Amino acid sequence: MPVTYAAVGASKLADVVRFPPEGTESYSEALQLGSGQERFVAASSLLMTWGAQRGAGIEVSEIARGSEEAYVGPEFDESGHAQGLRVREEQFGPDGEPYIVPGTSAVFSVAGQAPRSVLVVYTVEEDQIVGFAWGTCDEDGVVGEQRFTVEIREDQTVWAVARGFLASRGAGYLG
């Protein structure tokens, strides 16, 4: 399932907010969720099992789990240099649902609107940041890429952070 935009993986770089791909609008938002390691682990687990989307009233269906063999998202270091493949450890949420991995596809539905298809283009697995980014796979509304992370900062505050770039080609709920 291909995505409907060219700058795959661009949301990895914070500069995408200042310099979005041509024809798109960028955004960045953060919300403090609390503090402490327990809050970070709980929020990370929810995020990596579609909890943020479900909590926002989006029905997540037709989940097709990605596989390392079928799709590996782009991996770059801070300087933009391509990195080698790495083996990912399988992780599961408290209810046994597997964590989102690169190449996972899903369909999002909200009452009164046409369903939207997305593809997870990369995941983030760092000591203090966990998350993923999806790209749109259809052109039935806004198109682009959105990154969602949970971060625990030096002061132990826990934040939900979203950033991305979107081009409006019609009405939709992904924007």
* Interval 22-38: pLDDT, tens: 888 899 999 999 999 99
Taking CA atoms, 143 is separated from 10, 25, 31, 74, 139, in Å, by: 14, 10, 24, 19, 6
Domain count of the fold of the chain: 1
Structural domain contains residue 81 = yes
Domain extent at residue 52: 10-167
Instruction: Band the pLDDT of 164: cuts 50, 70, 90.
Output: very high
CA 154 to CA 113: how far, in whole Å? 41
Structural domain contains residue 120 = yes
Structural domain contains residue 1 = no
Structural domain contains residue 172 = no
DSSP 32-70: EEEESHHHHHHHHHHHTTTHHHHHTT-EEEEEE---TTT
Structural domain contains residue 5 = no
* Interval 105-158: pLDDT, tens: 999 999 888 899 999 999 999 989 999 999 988 877 788 999 999 999 999 999
Q: What's residue 108's pLDDT?
A: 92
Q: Which residues pair with 35 in a beta bridge?
A: 157
Structural domain contains residue 92 = yes
* Interval 83-110: pLDDT, tens: 655 555 677 667 777 889 988 999 999 9
- Give me the residue label for tokens 């770089």: 13
Structural domain contains residue 109 = yes
Q: What's residue 175's pLDDT?
A: 46
For residue 151, give the CATH number of its domain: 3.30.530.20
* Interval 55-83: pLDDT, tens: 889 999 988 887 655 455 556 666 766 66
